[in-house]
Amino acid sequence: MENKELEISHKLIKNTKKAFTLMELMVVIIILGLLASFVLPSLTGKSDEVKVKITCIEMKNIAQAIKMYKIDNSSYPTTSEGLNI
Rg (CA), the chain: 34
The phi, psi pair for 24, rounded to 5°, reads -65, -45
In sequence order, the 6+-apart residues with CB closer than 8 A to the CB of 69 are 76, 77
Q: Is 28 inside any structural domain? A: no
The phi, psi pair for 55, rounded to 5°, reads -65, -40
Q: Is 19 inside any structural domain? A: no
pTM over 0.85: no
Instruction: Count the domains in the chain.
Output: 1
Q: Is 67 inside any structural domain? A: yes
Q: Is 12 inside any structural domain? A: no
> pLDDT value at position 37?
86
Contact status, residue 33 vs residue 26, Cβ threshold 8 Å: no
Banded model confidence at residue 3, pLDDT cuts 50, 70, 90: low
Q: Is 83 inside any structural domain? A: yes
> pLDDT value at position 55?
94
Write the pLDDT tens digit of every residue in 9-66: 666 665 555 777 888 889 999 999 998 888 887 777 777 888 899 999 999 998 998 8
Q: Is 7 inside any structural domain? A: no
> pLDDT value at position 83?
62
Q: Is 62 inside any structural domain? A: yes
Range of the domain at 64: 46-85
Rounded distance between C-alpha atoms, residue 54 and residue 67, angstroms: 20
